[in-house]
Amino acid sequence: MAKANKSVKTAVKAAAGKNPTKGAPVLHSIKGGKLVPAKAPPLKATTGKPAPAKSAPTLPDDMPAIALKLEPAKLTPAMAAYFKKCQDRLGFVPNVLVAYAFDMAKLETFVAFYNDLMLGESGLSKLEREMIAVAVSSQNRCYYCLTAHGAAVRQYSGNPLLGEQIVMNYRVARLNKRQRAMLDFAVKLTASPWGVEENDRERLRRAGFTERDIWDISAVVGFFNMSNRVAAATDMRPNAVYHKQAR
Amino acid sequence: MAKANKSVKTAVKAAAGKNPTKGAPVLHSIKGGKLVPAKAPPLKATTGKPAPAKSAPTLPDDMPAIALKLEPAKLTPAMAAYFKKCQDRLGFVPNVLVAYAFDMAKLETFVAFYNDLMLGESGLSKLEREMIAVAVSSQNRCYYCLTAHGAAVRQYSGNPLLGEQIVMNYRVARLNKRQRAMLDFAVKLTASPWGVEENDRERLRRAGFTERDIWDISAVVGFFNMSNRVAAATDMRPNAVYHKQAR
Amino acid sequence: MAKANKSVKTAVKAAAGKNPTKGAPVLHSIKGGKLVPAKAPPLKATTGKPAPAKSAPTLPDDMPAIALKLEPAKLTPAMAAYFKKCQDRLGFVPNVLVAYAFDMAKLETFVAFYNDLMLGESGLSKLEREMIAVAVSSQNRCYYCLTAHGAAVRQYSGNPLLGEQIVMNYRVARLNKRQRAMLDFAVKLTASPWGVEENDRERLRRAGFTERDIWDISAVVGFFNMSNRVAAATDMRPNAVYHKQAR
Amino acid sequence: MAKANKSVKTAVKAAAGKNPTKGAPVLHSIKGGKLVPAKAPPLKATTGKPAPAKSAPTLPDDMPAIALKLEPAKLTPAMAAYFKKCQDRLGFVPNVLVAYAFDMAKLETFVAFYNDLMLGESGLSKLEREMIAVAVSSQNRCYYCLTAHGAAVRQYSGNPLLGEQIVMNYRVARLNKRQRAMLDFAVKLTASPWGVEENDRERLRRAGFTERDIWDISAVVGFFNMSNRVAAATDMRPNAVYHKQAR
Amino acid sequence: MAKANKSVKTAVKAAAGKNPTKGAPVLHSIKGGKLVPAKAPPLKATTGKPAPAKSAPTLPDDMPAIALKLEPAKLTPAMAAYFKKCQDRLGFVPNVLVAYAFDMAKLETFVAFYNDLMLGESGLSKLEREMIAVAVSSQNRCYYCLTAHGAAVRQYSGNPLLGEQIVMNYRVARLNKRQRAMLDFAVKLTASPWGVEENDRERLRRAGFTERDIWDISAVVGFFNMSNRVAAATDMRPNAVYHKQAR
Amino acid sequence: MAKANKSVKTAVKAAAGKNPTKGAPVLHSIKGGKLVPAKAPPLKATTGKPAPAKSAPTLPDDMPAIALKLEPAKLTPAMAAYFKKCQDRLGFVPNVLVAYAFDMAKLETFVAFYNDLMLGESGLSKLEREMIAVAVSSQNRCYYCLTAHGAAVRQYSGNPLLGEQIVMNYRVARLNKRQRAMLDFAVKLTASPWGVEENDRERLRRAGFTERDIWDISAVVGFFNMSNRVAAATDMRPNAVYHKQAR
């Protein structure tokens, strides 16, 4: 478990970046190893009347993390520590973790899977993995993942426009050949997996990717095709704080 | 023409809102009735190395307004005045106007068409028209329109999340029944116009829309199906300043 | 306004061609600057019994121009003159104009926009612009535009088969390389605007199109993606007379 | 064979209607039991210059019946008689028959299959079967079948507009409930056969169709999904004369 | 009729192969020239409880051949003989024949059409025709045809994996260039017939197919696009015995 | 790790069922904690000549587990034990495990994730989870997963037809309301995740599923949308032995 703890640390550190959003609205707090949803002012349905931009606070999205009523389980010590670190460094616990927290076995395997994939060793930079996450989530129009990972692309790249472009249509981003080939593969594998063949892998190889890189691209594409669907199926809501990050 | 001038004023005023982005990067300046592109530092292709968020300035997108090499024409006095107002109030001339400025007849009819549609009298609020613009542009994955009109939704609604949600997937936004019916119609008309029939109009009527409202919804949907395609065909680039507006 | 009047003349003249359909059924007449729908014998629902071809008159389509109940506005003098010219030269006022006539500002901007686009100066012939109109409308299965602009292709080309082919599937028409590239671009831009990129523009350039031509192709594609949707949303009905023109 | 001959007679008679197009261009003639293609003036590729409508003759489409070079076989006596009847009554031999005439076994089974289906006993009128043929062919954008069977709908119904509407988008035709249910089923079965289930059959039953009628609808839908593909695969060209029929 | 009888013999022989499934469950028997459905134990709806694999018999699918209630007609002598041969050699009468047996004219033309196409002379081997049948049926997700013709591919090829692969996704099968080109054409013609053009035929020619071969490929593709739809429309059920054949 | 070992045991036991395929071809063997691919006779490309069914052995698919050249890592003791159990009880190590075995961290998290999901506690039976796996994989046309999990459905249900039906088109299976609702949700979430909303969850609740059940359905759908894409991207090959299981 030592190793897992270490990769958790790395993950939290990486996600926090150099600009931790201190004091951001906390939608959940942890009491006695249990998540307790924090109160937030209700978000009015749109009325059609333009509110004066000045007085418009960044309202927290007051909806629960997911639309399924699942009782949070007692956090294991490892998960309690992990959540505390998220809180300390990011200022919040990402709602995807809150969503999985009804079952510790599921939460722990999810965290291990995610951290190995997105933060572990790879020929792909962390930014590239996030770019894939966003391109896949754009194809699937996943609100949760576009919000959380769009913020990560803005943060890792230091280029807010790049994040917006991949959210909207990755083809308009000024990508180098390597990254364009990578995202073309990611979107084809998402939209029509049945049509991916050797010539698609060859195109990645010609763009400089190794066999292992191709695995990693595929694994990230696969992972977000999973997460996009869990998020859509449960109406998972991103923490409101993501919206303002790294603009 | 007096009336046109007036509607231009209204348009500029409305677009400017209460928060004009003074001092924003100006990508074009007007000299002797001609648009002159301003220099901007080149935007690096992504390198995969996370730049420190701190030092990341909002780089202007240094690409030209469109990918077609069309010589700007001499602005007519009316258009020169209109561009000046944009500059004064918004801090920039929207690139869609720069794009049309190779031909004054086209620019003037476009401006008249747009201002009547989006800023003229209607049973739809200006916010609602912008919501339609964004929902249509999301279906068509149009970078220019999602950026410019996504900013308008954030601004008019005073609800930055609402803008993001309609960019990503309007179904996740907490809309009232009227607005949900409106966007359902807009997206169906965009995706499969051949399938729109009397029962679709009836659904709008039941949601409280008048005959004229239905025309206006249809006209805005139509307009952005046009603009999305002109933007895609010409690789139209939104002014970088939109990205930061009303976050 | 003088210029506008002139382009209206040109438009009417061009549309009328050398074979004005005199005496065609008039579905609307103008009284005191207002459109008055003319009576027409009701069109029976199909009964399944073959009517003897001999006695089958060309029944006017007795449905109103659109399915929305919008009171016609008083025609401005310019529009009254324009409608009169349509009547004199075409033998009828196209229903799309009838549809917009509930609001003079909308009608005038629509007419100006349309005439500049379809009848103004361009590197594309009028036939080519009509071919684009029909190819786009075929993709969108738009009854109004296929009927009205299918007739225009038959008329301008003097080749009735060409009109039919583009209505049904433009790929079967024997087009030269320039026109094939033009329609391929038009249909791709219609069906998947998000996928249009520099290589698509390059293909047009290689086929001999200038930068301005590419704008014009894109603008016509955009316009009919708009009109197709306004027509679908309002159940716009083409004047019955189009069906027989230039067969 | 007597029965077959009889149904052939019926077919030819029905197809000929009351208005046989005498003197229409004959693209094939029969010499010694063999089809001999007739010369026809070449059809110019479109030039973009509007030809004067007046002088525009109805040019025969000078392309061969199909794009595959298949030597016509010697017509069997039954087929020779059938072709002669087509020639006598329709003024031409439909190109689909010319296409199959490279092999007498295939031609004879095709003719038998077709005549039983489209002209044999059924609870569906001949017009209804042709309406299905056109709705299916519109979904598949089949030039040959839209042309030949669009003419048949115009002829059988005595309502030229109905033919045009089903070619373009059957949803705009003013169909009674029975025929609307029939074409909805036909188009769903064409576009997504995997999704047709008991509730679709139930909808037909509620619209008044018997079990046998449902078989017949399905069989016609199936047949044109076959013919559309044979036509597309071979670039089958409709006889030019269809275009003018029953307008 | 002599010839027909002969081709029937060939068909039955070919279908029977070297491994006739003697003693297989007979779902219909023939009494006095009429089909009589045989009793079969009802198939339980799935309960979610894994049944012990040991005791699981191969239950016949007890559903009727099709979901339409059509009274079987009296078999003509030719058809009675044909059904008897099926019974003798295959051990069962394929349900597609049972389905058509409500009308002898339809049954006879179907049998003639099918036997000419799938068992007659051709440059395509019988296996290749079955491969096309399965690839088309996979695109259309047709349970009947995938089951019956998937068994035929397993049988003719002696390679059970090949049958499974074409049922699931023909792209994973290790095909030679000729067969890959053939199935690519078949699936494109099935999915988007409107897009098939000369370059598609050229690709087949380059892969070694003659003009006649291209006709035959197209005809088989067409035929199964028909049969898939008749099967879907009628909920046609494959004889349960196919499932076990040639595994 | 004790717990993990236990769940591994459960998994292997469950997968093995009552009918372990002893003596099945072993494509990999384990030597010194490393996987060593076993030799298998090459599988001939199809020749078009029907091989005599009699002599057709069940050829192992001689292709490597995946098309990426990734060096197997040394198995950790836990994974070596897990592989040994697979070998002992199933007679083979599933190729998906072989594929992940280039990296022990990835293999272990994959195994943990999979076993919790498919074999852990749930309101869904193991059969139901496998049914979802196959319905999702059918939508995505995934050869690997259709083969491996199609076998599992046949095995768990004791109903070989059910497995075939869900592979081909789940709509033809005779499902009870609960299972139909479950698979409808699974396929919609796979094909258009953006369109899944509260009414979709409500339909599951009405069919008797709890909040936790809905999570589990979603998680299984998500997981196979991931696995289908990893399999497609790497051309993952199912162990040939699956094809014959539980027929």
Place of tokens 């993001």: B164
Torsion angle, alpha carbons of D239, D242, D244, D246, to 10: 160
Residues contacting residue A34 through CB under 8 Å, at least 6 positions apart: A72, A74, A75
Tell me how crowded residue D58 is: count the other CB atoms within 10 A of its CB: 15
Q: How confident is the model at residue F17 (pLDDT cuts 50, 70, 90)?
A: very low
Burial class (CB in 10 A: 0-12, 13-18, 19+), A69: exposed
Q: What is the pLDDT of residue B4?
A: 40
Q: Which of these, D3, D217, E85, D129, lies nearest to E97 by C-alpha position?
A: E85
d(CA F19, CA C129): 69
Q: Write down how long chain F is.
A: 247
Nearest to E211 among D68, D142, D194 (CB): D68
d(CA E134, CA E154): 11
| Token representation of residue C117 | 């686009």
Tell me the nearest-neighbour CA distance from E182 into chain A, angstroms.
16
Give whole-number Cα distances, C190 to A18, C175, C194, C228, D206, in Å.
44, 19, 10, 11, 38
d(CA C175, CA C162): 9
Look at D169 and B197 and tell me if their CB atoms are within 8 Å. no
DSSP per position, C29-60 = EEETTEEEEPP-PPPPPP-SSPPPTTT-----
Mind listing the pLDDT tens digit for each residue in A140-156? 999 999 999 999 999 99
CB-CB contact of F100 with F106 (8 Å): yes
**Looking at the whole model, is its pTM more than 0.90?**
no
Chains C and F share 3 or more Cβ pairs within 8 Å? no
Q: What is the pLDDT of residue F62?
A: 63
Contacts of C227 in chain B (CB under 8 A): 222
d(CA A144, CA A146): 6
d(CA C247, CA C21): 12
Tell me the nearest-neighbour CA distance from E161 into chain F, angstroms.
7
- Number of cross-chain residue pairs from C and E with Cβ atoms under 8 Å apart: 4
Q: How confident is the model at residue F54 (pLDDT cuts 50, 70, 90)?
A: very low
Contacts of A194 in chain E (CB under 8 A): 169, 171
CB-CB contact of F83 with F97 (8 Å): yes
Alpha helices by DSSP H, listed for B101-210, are 104-119, 126-139, 143-157, 160-169, 177-191, 198-206
- Number of cross-chain residue pairs from A and F with Cβ atoms under 8 Å apart: 135
> In sequence order, what E strands does chain E have?
28-31, 34-37
Q: How confident is the model at residue D24 (pLDDT cuts 50, 70, 90)?
A: very low
Tell me the nearest-neighbour CA distance from A76 into chain B, angstroms.
32
Residue A15 has pLDDT above 50, yes or no: no
Contacts of F169 in chain D (CB under 8 A): 194
% residues pLDDT > 90 (chain A): 74
Q: What is the DSSP letter of A67?
A: S
Residue of F nearest to A7 (CA): F105
Low-confidence ranges of chain E (pLDDT < 50): 1-27, 39-44, 47-59
| Phi-psi map region of E236: left, alpha, beta (phi>0 left; psi -120 to 50 alpha) | beta
Q: What is the pLDDT of residue A11?
A: 40
Q: Which of C195-199, D29-33, F199-203 has the lowest mean pLDDT?
A: D29-33
Look at B168 and A167 and tell me if their CB atoms are within 8 Å. yes
Q: Which chains touch A (3 or more CB pairs under 8 A)?
A: B, C, E, F
Question: How much is the average pLDDT of C74-98?
Answer: 97
For Cα atoms D163, D164, D168, give the angle at the middle one, nearest 5 degrees.
Answer: 120
Q: What is the pLDDT of residue F7?
A: 43
Name residues 158-217 of chain A within 8 A of E (Cβ).
194-195, 197
d(CA D223, CA D227): 6
What value does the mean pLDDT of chain C take? 84
Q: Which chains touch E (3 or more CB pairs under 8 A)?
A: A, C, D, F
Contacts of E237 in chain D (CB under 8 A): none
Which candidate in E27, E43, E46 is best for mutational testing of the F interface (most F CBs within 10 A)? E46
Q: How confident is the model at residue D217 (pLDDT cuts 50, 70, 90)?
A: very high
d(CA D31, CA D23): 19
Q: What is the pLDDT of residue A63?
A: 82
Nearest to A232 among F189, F211, F232 (CB): F189
Q: Which chains touch B (3 or more CB pairs under 8 A)?
A: A, C, D, F
Tell me the nearest-neighbour CA distance from A37 into chain E, angstroms.
37
Burial F99-121 (b: 16+ CB within 10 A, else e): bbbbbebbbbbbbbbbbbbbbbe
d(CA E73, CA B193): 46
Q: Report which secondary-structure segment, H or E, holds E222.
A: helix E211-234
d(CA E92, CA E98): 10
Contacts of C171 in chain E (CB under 8 A): 194-195, 197
Chains D and A share 3 or more Cβ pairs within 8 Å? no
Look at D235 and E69 and tell me if their CB atoms are within 8 Å. no
Q: Which chains touch D (3 or more CB pairs under 8 A)?
A: B, C, E, F
Q: What is the DSSP letter of A44?
A: P
Tell me the nearest-neighbour CA distance from D201 into chain F, angstroms.
14
Q: Report which secondary-structure segment, H or E, holds C28.
A: strand C28-31
Tell me how crowded residue B147 is: count the other CB atoms within 10 A of its CB: 29
Q: Which residue has the higher pLDDT, B214 or C4?
A: B214
Sign of CA dihedral C50, C53, C55, C57: positive
Which candidate in F188, F192, F194, F201 is best for mutational testing of the B interface (most B CBs within 10 A)? F194
d(CA E59, CA B187): 47
Mind listing the pLDDT tens digit for each residue in E162-185? 999 999 999 999 999 999 999 999
Residues contacting residue D6 through CB under 8 Å, at least 6 positions apart: none
Q: How confident is the model at residue D12 (pLDDT cuts 50, 70, 90)?
A: very low
Burial D112-151 (b: 16+ CB within 10 A, else e): bbbbbbbbbebebbbbbbbbbbbbbbbbbbbbbbbbbbbb
% residues pLDDT > 70 (chain D): 75
Q: How confident is the model at residue C17 (pLDDT cuts 50, 70, 90)?
A: very low
Which candidate in D215, D227, D228, D235 is best for mutational testing of the E interface (most E CBs within 10 A)? D215
Terminal-residue alpha carbon distance, chain B: 36
Q: What is the pLDDT of residue A34?
A: 63
| CB contact A235 to B (< 8 Å) | yes
Low-confidence ranges of chain B (pLDDT < 50): 1-27, 39-44, 47-59
Look at F54 and E19 and tell me if their CB atoms are within 8 Å. yes
Q: How confident is the model at residue A241 (pLDDT cuts 50, 70, 90)?
A: very high
Nearest to E234 among D69, D142, D218 (CB): D218
| CB contact E147 to F (< 8 Å) | yes
Q: Which of these, C172, A112, A176, B140, lies nearest to D147 by C-alpha position?
A: C172
DSSP per position, C155-173 = HHHS-HHHHHHHHHHGGGS
Look at D219 and E197 and tell me if their CB atoms are within 8 Å. no
Mind listing the pLDDT tens digit for each residue in D81-135? 999 999 999 999 999 999 999 999 999 999 999 999 999 999 999 999 999 999 9
Name residues 15-54 of chain A within 8 A of B (Cβ).
17-19, 43, 45-46, 48-54
Mind listing the pLDDT tens digit for each residue in D34-52? 665 554 444 445 544 444 3
Q: What is the pLDDT of residue C54?
A: 40
Tell me how crowded residue B244 is: count the other CB atoms within 10 A of its CB: 13
Amino acid at F178: R
Beta-bridged to residue F37, according to DSSP, are F28
Nearest to B113 among C109, C211, C221 (CB): C109
Q: Which residue has the higher pLDDT, D61 or C48?
A: D61
Beta-bridged to residue A35, according to DSSP, are A30
d(CA E132, CA E130): 5
Terminal-residue alpha carbon distance, chain C: 36
d(CA A84, CA A90): 10
Cα Rg of chain E (Å, integer)? 19
Q: What angle in degrees, to the nearest 10, is found between the helix axes of B177-191 and B198-206? A: 160
Q: What is the pLDDT of residue A238?
A: 97
CB-CB contact of E57 with E38 (8 Å): no
Sign of CA dihedral A213, A215, A219, A222: positive
CB-CB contact of C77 with C106 (8 Å): no
CB-CB contact of B152 with B242 (8 Å): no
Q: What angle in degrees, to the nearest 10, is found between the helix axes of A2-16 and A77-90? A: 20
Tell me the nearest-neighbour CA distance from B163 into chain C, angstroms.
20
Give whole-number Cα distances, F28 to E14, E81, F98, F223, in Å.
39, 53, 8, 26
Nearest to F233 among A70, A106, A189 (CB): A189
Residue of D nearest to C130 (CA): D48
Q: Write down how long chain A is.
A: 247
Tell me the nearest-neighbour CA distance from F174 into chain A, angstroms.
25
Look at A197 and E171 and tell me if their CB atoms are within 8 Å. yes
Q: What is the pLDDT of residue A185?
A: 99
Place of tokens 């809905």: F214
| Token representation of residue C88 | 């004199």
Q: What is the pLDDT of residue C63?
A: 82
DSSP per position, D177-226 = HHHHHHHHHHHHHHH-GGG--HHHHHHHHHTT--HHHHHHHHHHHHHHHH
At B109 the three-state DSSP class reads helix
Which candidate in B189, B192, B194, B200 is best for mutational testing of the D interface (most D CBs within 10 A)? B194
Beta-bridged to residue F35, according to DSSP, are F30
For Cα atoms E195, E198, E203, give the angle at the middle one, nearest 5 degrees.
Answer: 100
Residues contacting residue E199 through CB under 8 Å, at least 6 positions apart: none
d(CA B246, CA B104): 32
